[in-house]
Amino acid sequence: MLWFLRDYALAAVVLRAATLAFTSILIGGLFFAAVLLPRPIVYPGWSAEPQQRWRRLLVFAAVGLIATQAIFAFLDGALLIESAGLHLSDLWTANFLQASALLMAGAIAILLFLWRAVRMYAAALLLALPLICGTVWTSHAVSRMDDRLPLIALTATHQLSVALWIGSMPFLWLLLSTIPSQDARMGEIVSRRYSRAALVSVAALVVSGVLLAWQYTGSWSGIYGTGYGLVLIVKTLLLGPLLLLGAANFWALRQPAGRIQSFLPRLRLFSEAEIGIGFTIILAAASLTAQPPAVDVTQGRVTLPEIAARFTPQWPRLKTPPAGALPPVASMAQAERQYAANPDDPKAANDAAERAWSEYNHHWAGMVVLAAGLLAFLAKAGWGRWARHWPLAFLGLAVFLFLRADPEAWPLGPRGFWVSFYNPEDLVHRLIVLLIVCFAGFEWSVQNWSLKDTRAALVFPGVCALGGAILLLHEHAMGSAQEELLTSMSHAAIAVFAVIAGWSRWIEIRSSRLTRVRTVAAVLWPVCLIAIGLVLLNYREA
């Protein structure tokens, strides 16, 4: 097995996120077609293209759910067989296997329904029942000894609310993107219906989420002092802009019937950002399953004085320790053998010299991002045409990371250039460098009007938002749960700012005819870049 695929905990979170995302799309799609669309579905003069695209999205989600659960069941089963010495016949009573079977059965039933049925009716919503049961089956609620039934009911309500709100939004976007101008009235009807359903879903989502959060944290220290609480904070912070976008659409749909059609382009634009942020929250929610509930973590919580001490501003580290002070570099074969013998070896955590080197990398990266954010802000304010070259600052960051990010690899360390690609950390850094070069080149061409393709302009915000989402999964081995949590707080802040920056820039690019929206978005994303730079400048690992 390739070494960079060794992290089962990370794979489990990604698979859980894919499960929640595909399940939400399937339930949301069935609800959209059965409840929100008026009858008949096909209007005279309206092509069947929207229906075909909805069906393709549902088929994609169903096939994706089946594949995800097959991989999940295989990995979990192989892990149990290898670690516990079980046989394949012993796994049939395992909760994870039964839940996977239920989810796959629900997805297969939806595929059969799509194959046999021409139109979707309310009866199709019954197919959502095995999907909800399958996702709840592997949640924290089922494993609790106390108040299990209320927690299961709250978890089911929470996940169903997400599916009806976020899961059905891509289908609304497809409708608004493909509906002909002569059928704009239908877009207005469906948007109003969706708005009312989303309002109820958001209310149920917030109420059930608050009750679950308090049940699983138990105290304020469980919120700010544990990894579970940190994920809850991230979800709440990302929910804020999502609710603002939803409120803007809700207000637009309160206009008189004759004016709503002029707001449909803005509804479509805000829906794009809502979809992106919504599925980022689903990714964060998936990582909750990898964290024990805070109420069960009674030892090793981070205190407020420790948080204040870690994030008190200090002068950045601009010089690395001598390369000779770093630990000796083991060969890749030796490193793989050590990991196979003890994957959780606390000696694998960074020592003082390695932490100093990491802080040095983060601080220099912070200066580059801060400079880029300030120049972007000046360019948007019209205070200097030269400031529009701000994307070139990221090329300097790419060169710096390529040369200095990994002291054990070429050109600084003994590991050769190609050999270092077998190290997952080195591989990630190389990929980050490639992404930085790509979006810096695209964005510089866009800012200087040499590249006028809108799709090219969306590369920078897309990479920014995706990078922020992926950063939610990033961890550092510190040898201490408290140190890892304090470091994760910095990563979480950067991730939130990156997601907001990416979707703000996306809205600016796509809102060419919405002057006020474009103005707000144009100011917001440079401010987020500045905030990311400041967080990086104050990054510390001890």
Q: Is 98 exposed, middle or buried (0-12, 13-18, 19+ CB in 10 A)?
A: middle
Judgement on whether residues 271 and 149 belong to the same structural domain of the protein: yes
User: Residue 513's CB: how many other CB atoms inside 10 A?
Assistant: 10
For residue 40, what are its two tokens?
């008949």
Task: Check residue 299 and give its pLDDT.
Answer: 82
In the chain, % helix, strand, coil (3-state, to 5) comes to 75, 0, 25
Judgement on whether residues 290 and 364 belong to the same structural domain of the protein: no
Task: Check residue 4 and give its pLDDT.
Answer: 39
Dihedral of the alpha carbons of 398, 402, 406, 409, in degrees to the nearest 10? 170
Give the burial string for 45-69 (b: 16+ CB within 10 Å, else e): ebeeebbebbbebbeebbebbbebb
CB 421 within 8 A of CB 430: yes
Task: Check residue 119 and give its pLDDT.
Answer: 59
Dihedral of the alpha carbons of 120, 126, 131, 133, in degrees to the nearest 10? 170
Cα(37)–Cα(194) distance, integer angstroms? 9
Ramachandran bin of 117, using left for φ above 0, alpha for ψ from -120 to 50, beta for the remaining angles: beta
Task: Check residue 265 and give its pLDDT.
Answer: 78
CB 83 within 8 A of CB 41: no
Per-position pLDDT tens, the chain of length 542: 444 345 567 788 888 999 999 999 999 999 998 888 776 554 444 455 667 788 889 999 999 999 999 998 888 777 777 666 666 666 676 778 888 899 999 999 999 888 876 555 667 788 889 999 999 988 888 888 888 899 999 999 999 999 999 999 999 998 888 766 556 677 788 888 999 999 999 999 999 999 999 999 988 998 999 989 999 999 999 999 999 998 888 887 777 766 666 677 788 888 999 999 999 999 888 887 778 888 888 888 899 999 999 999 988 888 877 655 555 555 555 555 555 555 444 444 556 777 887 888 889 999 999 999 999 999 888 777 788 889 988 888 888 888 877 777 777 766 666 666 666 666 767 777 888 888 788 888 888 776 667 777 888 898 889 888 888 876 655 557 788 888 889 999 999 999 999 999 999 888 876 677 888 888 999 999 999 999 999 998 87
Ramachandran bin of 93, using left for φ above 0, alpha for ψ from -120 to 50, beta for the remaining angles: alpha
Give the containing element (helix H, strand E) for 250: helix 227-252
Cα(413)–Cα(188) distance, integer angstroms? 62
Judgement on whether residues 351 and 288 belong to the same structural domain of the protein: no
Q: Phi, psi (5° rounding) for residue 413?
A: -110, 180
Q: How far is CA 358 from the centre of its chain?
A: 24
For residue 265, what are its two tokens?
């382009």
Task: Check residue 236 and give its pLDDT.
Answer: 93
Counting Cα atoms < 13 Å in the Cβ hemisphere of 80 gives: 17
Residue 309 lies in a domain: no
State the residue for tokens 């009866």. Answer: 123
**Which candidate, 135, 122, 130, places its Cα nearest to that of 106?**
130
Tell me the β-bridge partners of 409: 415
- pLDDT tens digits along 281-311: 998 888 877 788 888 888 888 999 999 999 9
| Domain end (from 266, 296, 326) | 296
**Which candidate, 310, 234, 351, 300, places its Cα nearest to that of 539?**
310
For residue 202, what are its two tokens?
């958001």
Q: First and final CA of the chain: distance in angstroms?
A: 34
User: Residue 201's CB: how many other CB atoms inside 10 A?
Assistant: 23
What is the value of pTM for the model shown?
0.86
Task: Check residue 363 and give its pLDDT.
Answer: 92
Most distant CA pair in the chain, distance: 76
Domain assignment of residue 288, given as a range: 3-296
Residue 525 lies in a domain: yes
User: Residue 227's CB: how many other CB atoms inside 10 A?
Assistant: 22
CA distance to 100, 214, 250, 396, per residue, from 133 (Å): 10, 23, 31, 50
Cα(397)–Cα(362) distance, integer angstroms? 11
Residue 305 lies in a domain: no
Judgement on whether residues 257 and 333 belong to the same structural domain of the protein: no
Q: Is 457 exposed, middle or buried (0-12, 13-18, 19+ CB in 10 A)?
A: buried
Judgement on whether residues 120 and 165 belong to the same structural domain of the protein: yes
Residue 542 lies in a domain: no
Write the CB contacts of 475 (distance below 8 Å, at least 6 apart in sequence): 484, 488
Task: Check residue 45 and give its pLDDT.
Answer: 43
Residue 524 lies in a domain: yes
Task: Check residue 420 and give its pLDDT.
Answer: 62
Judgement on whether residues 285 and 325 belong to the same structural domain of the protein: no
Asked whether the bond before 40 is cis by omega within 30 degrees of 0, the reply is: yes
Judgement on whether residues 244 and 152 belong to the same structural domain of the protein: yes
Judgement on whether residues 282 and 209 belong to the same structural domain of the protein: yes
Counting Cα atoms < 13 Å in the Cβ hemisphere of 175 gives: 26
Residue 303 lies in a domain: no
Give the burial string for 248-266 (b: 16+ CB within 10 Å, else e): bbeebbeeeeeebeebbeb
DSSP 167: I
Write the CB contacts of 465 (distance below 8 Å, at least 6 apart in sequence): 276, 280, 498, 499, 501, 502, 503, 506
Cα(352)–Cα(86) distance, integer angstroms? 42
CB 357 within 8 A of CB 351: no
For residue 24, what are its two tokens?
């939400």
Judgement on whether residues 238 and 274 belong to the same structural domain of the protein: yes
Residue 281 lies in a domain: yes
Q: Is the dihedral of CA 92, 97, 98, 101 positive or negative?
A: negative
For residue 276, what are its two tokens?
């992106």
For residue 14, what are its two tokens?
């990604």
CA distance to 324, 369, 459, per residue, from 498 (Å): 35, 11, 14
- pLDDT tens digits along 361-412: 889 999 999 999 999 999 888 777 788 889 988 888 888 888 877 777 777 7
State the residue for tokens 């067989």. Answer: 81
Judgement on whether residues 488 and 352 belong to the same structural domain of the protein: yes
Number of domains making up the chain: 2
Task: Check residue 475 and give its pLDDT.
Answer: 63
Give the containing element (helix H, strand E) for 366: helix 352-381
Task: Check residue 44 and give its pLDDT.
Answer: 44
Cα(287)–Cα(14) distance, integer angstroms? 8
CB 26 within 8 A of CB 75: no
For residue 415, what are its two tokens?
């590991």
Judgement on whether residues 256 and 392 belong to the same structural domain of the protein: no
Judgement on whether residues 266 and 331 belong to the same structural domain of the protein: no
Write the CB contacts of 117 (distance below 8 Å, at least 6 apart in sequence): 124
Residue 458 lies in a domain: yes
